[in-house]
Chains A and B, each alone.
Chain A
């Protein structure tokens, strides 16, 4: 369904583009005709699909890293101690910096390889994840925790398990939402400096003023993002079903 929705939106966009082209009378150089875009999508699919897959794999790794990192930081920042407050304040302040402004530093230190793409993807989806996980981990579920607290059984593990279980739907939504951000982060990194991935293909197409190639890239990016989002949502549903059984 999500895939179908994306395809409908994408082809509506192409129709709009073609409508503008023929309505205003733009040249083929500025807006390529539909058959040129179609030809690229169908006949040169490998040139777009493989870089998109490459980007998706980096995005998935970055996303996983961001989830782990955000969970660890949220775990230590959830309490009321001085260290927790410090971590929380730092997390809130750091997220105010636009990642695109930090990205050049990453490229200076790590070069334009996999590490930079991975790190930028991680940073982009890390902050929204952190803020949401902080909210979930630091909000007591009093009706469940009360018994454990009264009887001295509320250790950190029980506390976190209760809070994750009680906010499972929220967690799945947040992780699903951030999966798209991971994809965005990786593409931004590739666009800025990397030599691989679909972001790099877009950069090349931009330098050549090749709008047909950019539109084809958008299609494959959308397909990969939608597939990843569907995968994350299915995994979330599966976990929920297993826990509720």
Chain B
């Protein structure tokens, strides 16, 4: 299982300089990966390029052993004319079972809202309902673009642990978030887009803690802090800022 971006260049307008120029990225095994960067640096664009929703003007995105790439994002909405539960029931892919759906509904804290219409839910519930339907699809790679942006921290940690351990061994999870701590803690590898340059030419790769329990292992807390610092420095290095 491998996905790689080879020297991809992309810009939204021909007159503007490229947003990405000859950018490379490679993920060659299943697991939890993250993309980090400050607002407006091009995270969602890169995610869409990887998902095949945008085409690079130069270069290629090559997939080996990956057929289904799904991308979900936080402003998605469920159809409003049916209840959340009814939509989720219909959305289960043939390979997933209703049992899986019930499990995710329960684990994502959606049991109390399945009879409600989507527009009546809180922002956090909306995020969770949206993610739940993606988790019952067949995918080899799931790109989550700030998909838990409105979810409270304890729930977010629980959901990330859940999807990491449920899918992390056979699928690629590509998580995009502004929360540097969860990115560092859960990820096997963090791809950082440096901010401040007009055109991004390189991603900075930093090893994450891959979900190792910081309380059980001695020194993990310090490693986590070091990783957070590295990621923040990498993200803002073009500004020359000292973190």
A residues whose Cβ falls under 8 Å from a Cβ of B: 143-144, 146-147, 150-151, 153, 161-162, 165-166, 243-244
Please indicate the chain A residues that have their CB under 8 angstroms from the CB of B137 in the complex: 151
Q: List 27 A-B contacts (CB under 8 A).
A: A143-B76, A143-B77, A144-B76, A144-B77, A144-B78, A144-B79, A146-B73, A146-B76, A147-B76, A147-B91, A147-B133, A150-B70, A150-B71, A150-B72, A151-B70, A151-B93, A151-B137, A153-B91, A161-B79, A165-B79, A165-B80, A166-B80, A243-B80, A243-B81, A244-B80, A244-B117, A244-B119
> Within 8 Å of chain A (Cβ to Cβ): is B179?
no
Interface residues of B in 67-108 (CB under 8 A from A): 70-73, 75-81, 91, 93
Q: Which chain B residue shows the least CB distance to A144?
A: B77
Number of residues of chain B lying within 8 A (CB) of chain A: 19
- Give 4 closest A-B pairs by Cβ, nearest first: A143-B77, A144-B77, A143-B76, A243-B81
Q: A147-B91, A151-B93 are in contact. Are A161 and B75 (CB under 8 A)?
A: no
Q: Nearest chain B CB to A239's CB is how many angstroms away?
A: 11
Q: Nearest chain A CB to B182's CB is how many angstroms away?
A: 24
Q: Which of A143, A153, A162, A165 contacts B75 (CB 8 A)?
A: A143
Question: What 9 new A-B contacts, CB under 8 Å, besides A143-B75, A147-B130, A151-B137?
Answer: A143-B76, A144-B76, A146-B76, A147-B72, A151-B70, A151-B91, A162-B79, A243-B80, A243-B81
Please indicate the chain B residues that have their CB under 8 angstroms from the CB of A143 in the complex: 75-77
Interface residues of B in 165-196 (CB under 8 A from A): none
Q: Nearest chain B CB to A136's CB is how many angstroms away?
A: 15
Please indicate the chain B residues that have their CB under 8 angstroms from the CB of A144 in the complex: 76-79
Please indicate the chain B residues that have their CB under 8 angstroms from the CB of A244 in the complex: 80, 117, 119
Please indicate the chain B residues that have their CB under 8 angstroms from the CB of A165 in the complex: 79-81
Q: Which chain B residue shows the least CB distance to A141?
A: B77
Q: What CA separation (Å) do A188 and B78 show in the bound complex?
A: 46
Q: What CA separation (Å) do A77 and B78 show in the bound complex?
A: 26
Q: What CA separation (Å) do A150 and B70 show in the bound complex?
A: 6
Please indicate the chain B residues that have their CB under 8 angstroms from the CB of A243 in the complex: 80-81
Q: What CA separation (Å) do A197 and B130 show in the bound complex?
A: 55
Q: Nearest chain A CB to B115's CB is how many angstroms away?
A: 12
User: B45-86, CB under 8 A of A: which get 1 and which 0?
Assistant: 000000000000000000000000011110111111100000
Interface centre among B73, B80, B117 (most CB of A within 10 A): B80
Q: Nearest chain A CB to B202's CB is how many angstroms away?
A: 29
Please indicate the chain A residues that have their CB under 8 angstroms from the CB of B76 in the complex: 143-144, 146-147
Please indicate the chain A residues that have their CB under 8 angstroms from the CB of B80 in the complex: 165-166, 243-244
Please indicate the chain A residues that have their CB under 8 angstroms from the CB of B91 in the complex: 147, 151, 153
User: B134-150, CB under 8 A of A: which get 1 and which 0?
Assistant: 10010000000000000
Q: What CA separation (Å) do A227 and B177 show in the bound complex?
A: 55
Please indicate the chain A residues that have their CB under 8 angstroms from the CB of B75 in the complex: 143
Q: Nearest chain B CB to A148's CB is how many angstroms away?
A: 9
Please indicate the chain B residues that have their CB under 8 angstroms from the CB of A166 in the complex: 80
